[in-house]
Amino acid sequence: MDIVNYMQQVGEQARVASRLMARASSAQKNQALRLIAAAIVRDAALLQAANELDLEAARTAGLEPALLDRLTLSEKAIGTMAEGLEQIASLADPIGEITDLKFRPSGIQVGQMRVPLGVIGIIYEARPNVTADAAGLCIKSGNATILRGGSEAIHCNKALALLVQEGLAGAGLPLHAVQVVETTDRAAVGQLITMPAYVDVIVPRGGKGLIERLVRESTVPMIKHLDGICHVYIDDKADLAKAAAIAFNAKCHRYGTCNTMETLLLARAVAPVILPELARLYAQKQVELRCDPEALTLLSGYPHLLAAQESDWSTEYLAPVLSIKVVDGLDEAIAHINHYSSQHTDTIVSEDYSRALRFLREIDSSSVIVNASTRFADGFEFGLGAEIGVSTDKLHARGPVGLNGLTSVKYVVFGHGEVRE
């Protein structure tokens, strides 16, 4: 197989399909989503058989249990995929919406119309559910998409692709609106990220190392975040009951997510009161605490205690590990966060009005939170209805990215024969 030619063909087909998708009606797009959901439920056994081929190969290759687990397409996971597509169908169609249509002194009426981006390339790991999710979001937002999932899931992804195309055909939409890259050759990724003529944006999902490499090599813009080094700052004007609940939830609700707290900052005045209380909670979960000298003293006797190294302040643990630092107050907290944060999500716990507003304004992160867990930074919790990923960049989309992140706007002008004087 000639990878360069193959990917060029995939790209050309996607570009042609994207023009047709841009003018698809809401009814057609929703019909396609519902047909795909029904086909997935109908062919559950077939999908699981394809998944079994992937799992066998993965076991032979000695894949880690955690990765095997993510690769597995359970009956429940199949149901969730279908439900997800139904949910996307029930969201409002963002495309064609015209906002801010205003008359100008010249007589013309100017507004902005929401339009698809065009062709979206999605690069992800061996998680079959992402295939259905990503296809669904791209169809709804009127884009064509090229999906490159982890090679370990290739059989399952190809089987899903057939069902997606069945749904597209049933709704009268172009088959090439969703294409799964049919080769596991890594060179295909290299091609995908260097075809700006055919691909308008890349959404990479995966580890920091993979994404850093893609960013270096890509000539196509990306919607991405590298890591989530999220902070909670407990102010000396905090409600300590809220503070304990938030600091516990932000660390222990789930360890492997990008919006999990990795560093806890505490104002000096309340650290001696709140830290021992938090230590009792963290001890139940055997959370390892990596502390600056002051916190170390306050926590002496805690069973999983370590002195923090400089590198701890910029490490995403994705594990029951937490770095802790005592600060003077708000100014030092803001300075620490703006220096070490990955600009993902940061929380202040405080009952002080002016400090809460300063934190909201001065923390330079994608999601800035007062008095709630960092774990809320998520497309569903924020009300976007769905999420294709999170962006920590400032251009285009920032924070959790839903359907609107896969769109652009163009200016539209309704005139009546006006000319410039």
Of positions 42, 104, 208, 268, contacts a copy of itself by CB under 8 A: 104
- Please give the helix or strand (H or E) that residue 282 lies within, else none: helix 271-284
Least spacing, CB of residue 205 vs a copy of itself, in Å: 18
CA R_g for the chain? 24
- Angle (nearest 5°) at CA 193 between 211 and 396: 70
Of positions 200, 227, 262, 312, contacts a copy of itself by CB under 8 A: 200
- List the x/- string, 112-151, binding to a copy of itself by CB under 8 A: -x-x-xx---------------------------------
Question: What pairing do the DSSP bridges indicate for beta strands 119-123 and 144-148?
Answer: parallel
Site for a copy of itself in 208-247 (CB under 8 A): 221, 239, 241-242, 245-246
Of 164-172, 288-296, 311-319, 372-380: span binding a copy of itself (CB under 8 A): 372-380
How far, in Å, CA of 134 to CA of 202, rounded? 12
How many other CB atoms are found less than 10 A from the CB of residue 177?
Answer: 28
Least spacing, CB of residue 408 vs a copy of itself, in Å: 4
Task: Using the minimum distance from each CB to a copy of itself, give the nearer residue, 128 or 379.
Answer: 379
Of positions 366, 387, 388, 389, contacts a copy of itself by CB under 8 A: 366
Site for a copy of itself in 1-30 (CB under 8 A): 19, 22-23
Least spacing, CB of residue 247 vs a copy of itself, in Å: 10
Total number of residues that touch a copy of itself (CB under 8 A): 64
Q: Would you state the structure tokens that stand for residue 258, as one six-digit string?
A: 């990008």
Strand partners, 264: 232, 324
Of 6-14, 228-236, 324-332, 379-387: span binding a copy of itself (CB under 8 A): 379-387
- Angle (nearest 5°) at CA 93 between 92 and 97: 110
How far, in Å, CA of 69 to CA of 354, rounded? 47
Contact 234, 329 (CB under 8 A): no
What's 320-337 look like in SS3?
A: CEEEEEEECCHHHHHHHH
Q: Would you state the structure tokens that stand for residue 76, as one six-digit string?
A: 């429940």
How far, in Å, CA of 233 to CA of 29, rounded? 44
Is residue 90 part of the contact set for a copy of itself (CB under 8 A)? Answer: no
Task: Using the minimum distance from each CB to a copy of itself, give the nearer residue, 156 or 250.
Answer: 250
Query: Which residues lie below 8 Å from residue 69, measured CB to CB, with a gap of 6+?
Result: none
Least spacing, CB of residue 245 vs a copy of itself, in Å: 5
How far, in Å, CA of 273 to CA of 135, rounded? 50
Of positions 375, 387, 402, 403, contacts a copy of itself by CB under 8 A: 375
Site for a copy of itself in 317-346 (CB under 8 A): 338
Of 45-53, 288-296, 308-316, 402-410: span binding a copy of itself (CB under 8 A): 402-410
User: Distances in Å between the alpha carbon of 413 and those of 52, 106, 108, 254?
Assistant: 55, 12, 7, 48
Is residue 52 part of the contact set for a copy of itself (CB under 8 A)? Answer: no
What's 248-278 look like in SS3?
A: HHHHHCCCCCCCCEEEEEEECCCHHHHHHHH
* Residue 267 phi, psi dihedral angles, 5° rounding: -70, 140
Is residue 47 part of the contact set for a copy of itself (CB under 8 A)? Answer: no
Question: What pairing do the DSSP bridges indicate for beta strands 389-391 and 399-401?
Answer: antiparallel
How far, in Å, CA of 249 to CA of 240, rounded? 14
Q: Would you state the structure tokens that stand for residue 356, as one six-digit string?
A: 């809460």
- List the x/- string, 280-319, binding to a copy of itself by CB under 8 A: ----------------------------------------
Task: Using the minimum distance from each CB to a copy of itself, give the nearer residue, 183 or 257.
Answer: 257
Contact 160, 44 (CB under 8 A): no
Least spacing, CB of residue 158 vs a copy of itself, in Å: 30
Of 6-14, 174-182, 261-269, 409-417: span binding a copy of itself (CB under 8 A): 409-417
Is residue 57 part of the contact set for a copy of itself (CB under 8 A)? Answer: no
> Binding residues for a copy of itself, per CB under 8 A?
19, 22-23, 96, 102, 104, 106, 108, 110, 113, 115, 117-118, 200-201, 221, 239, 241-242, 245-246, 248-250, 253, 338, 360-362, 364-373, 375-377, 381-383, 394-396, 398-400, 408-420
